[in-house]
Amino acid sequence: MGRASGVAHTPWPDDLAARYRAAGYWRGRTFGALLSELAGAHADRTAVVGGSVRLTYRELDDRAHRLAAGWHALGVRPGDRVVLQLPNDADFLPVLFGLSRAGAWPVLALPAHREAELRHFAGTAGAVAVVTAGPERAAAARRVAATVPSVRHVVVAGGRVAGTTDLAEVTAPPRDLADPDPGGVALLQLSGGSTGLPKLIPRTHDDYLYSVRESARICGLRPDDVYLAALPVSHNFPLSSPGVLGALHAGATAVMAPDPFPATAFELVERERVTVTAVVPQLARAYARAAASGGRDLSSLRLLQVGGAPCAPEQAEQVAAALGCALQQVYGMGEGLVCYTRADDPPEVVFGTQGRPISPDDELRVVDPDDPAAPSDAEVAPGEVGALLTRGPYTVRGYYRADAHNATAFTPDGFYRTGDLVRRTATGHVEVVGRIKDQINRGGEKIAVEEVENHLRAHPDVLDAVVVGVPDEYLGQRSLAFVVPAGDASATLTAQGLRQFVRTRGVADFKVPDQVRVVDHFPVTGVGKTSRRELRAEVARRAHERETKEPMMTEAVRARVAAVLGEPADGLADDEDLLARGLDSLRLVDLVERLRELGLDTSFGELAETPTIAAWADLVVREGRG
Return the number of the residue (46 or 318) whose C-beta is nearest ligand J2J.
318
State yes or no: residue 420 binds ligand J2J (CB under 6 A).
Answer: yes
Are 446 and 193 spatial neighbours (Cβ–Cβ below 8 Å)?
yes
State yes or no: residue 241 binds ligand J2J (CB under 6 A).
Answer: yes
Are 25 and 359 spatial neighbours (Cβ–Cβ below 8 Å)?
yes
Return the number of the residue (98 or 307) whose C-beta is nearest ligand J2J.
307
State yes or no: residue 369 binds ligand J2J (CB under 6 A).
Answer: no
Are 128 and 107 spatial neighbours (Cβ–Cβ below 8 Å)?
no
- The identity of residue 129, as a single letter, is A
End-to-end CA distance of the chain: 52
Are 623 and 600 spatial neighbours (Cβ–Cβ below 8 Å)?
yes
Q: Which helix (H) or strand (E) holds 478?
A: strand 476-485
Return the number of the residue (63 or 199) whose C-beta is nearest ligand J2J.
199
Stretch that binds ligand J2J, among 89-97, 224-232, 326-334, 585-593 (CB under 6 A): 326-334
State yes or no: residue 467 binds ligand J2J (CB under 6 A).
Answer: no
Considering only 31, 331, 394, 410, the residue that binds ligand J2J (CB under 6 A) is 331
Return the number of the residue (265 or 330) whose C-beta is nearest ligand J2J.
330
State yes or no: residue 236 binds ligand J2J (CB under 6 A).
Answer: yes
Are 84 and 107 spatial neighbours (Cβ–Cβ below 8 Å)?
yes
Site for ligand J2J in 51-70 (CB under 6 A): none
Alpha helices in 468-522, H assignment, sequence order: 495-504
Considering only 446, 455, 459, 560, the residue that binds ligand J2J (CB under 6 A) is 446
Considering only 30, 85, 234, 418, the residue that binds ligand J2J (CB under 6 A) is 418
Considering only 98, 182, 308, 398, the residue that binds ligand J2J (CB under 6 A) is 308
State yes or no: residue 277 binds ligand J2J (CB under 6 A).
Answer: no
Number of residues that this document lists for the chain:
626
State yes or no: residue 310 binds ligand J2J (CB under 6 A).
Answer: yes
Stretch that binds ligand J2J, among 5-13, 331-339, 523-531, 568-576 (CB under 6 A): 331-339
State yes or no: residue 206 binds ligand J2J (CB under 6 A).
Answer: no
CB of 332 to ligand J2J, least distance (A): 3
Phi, psi dihedral angles at 373 (to 5 degrees): -80, -25
User: Cα–Cα distances in Å, from 353 out to 331, 341, 358, 423, 588?
Assistant: 9, 7, 15, 9, 54
DSSP one-letter code for 219: T
Are 328 and 305 spatial neighbours (Cβ–Cβ below 8 Å)?
yes
State yes or no: residue 436 binds ligand J2J (CB under 6 A).
Answer: no
Buried b (16+ CB within 10 A) or exposed e, 10-24: bebeeebeeebeeee
CB of 243 to ligand J2J, least distance (A): 8
State yes or no: residue 282 binds ligand J2J (CB under 6 A).
Answer: no
Stretch that binds ligand J2J, among 122-130, 168-176, 246-254, 325-333 (CB under 6 A): 325-333
Stretch that binds ligand J2J, among 178-186, 232-240, 320-328, 397-405 (CB under 6 A): 232-240
State yes or no: residue 213 binds ligand J2J (CB under 6 A).
Answer: no
Are 422 and 355 spatial neighbours (Cβ–Cβ below 8 Å)?
no
Find the farthest-apart pair of alpha carbons in the chain and give their distance in angstroms, rounded.
92
Q: Which helix (H) or strand (E) holds 252?
A: none
Taking the C-alpha atoms of residue 479 and residue 522, their distance in angstroms, rounded to an integer, is 16
Considering only 103, 184, 192, 246, the residue that binds ligand J2J (CB under 6 A) is 192
Taking the C-alpha atoms of residue 480 and residue 477, their distance in angstroms, rounded to an integer, is 10
Task: Kindly list the residues in this chain that would bind ligand J2J in the complex (CB under 6 A).
Answer: 192, 236-237, 240-241, 307-310, 329-334, 338, 354, 418, 420, 432, 435, 441, 446
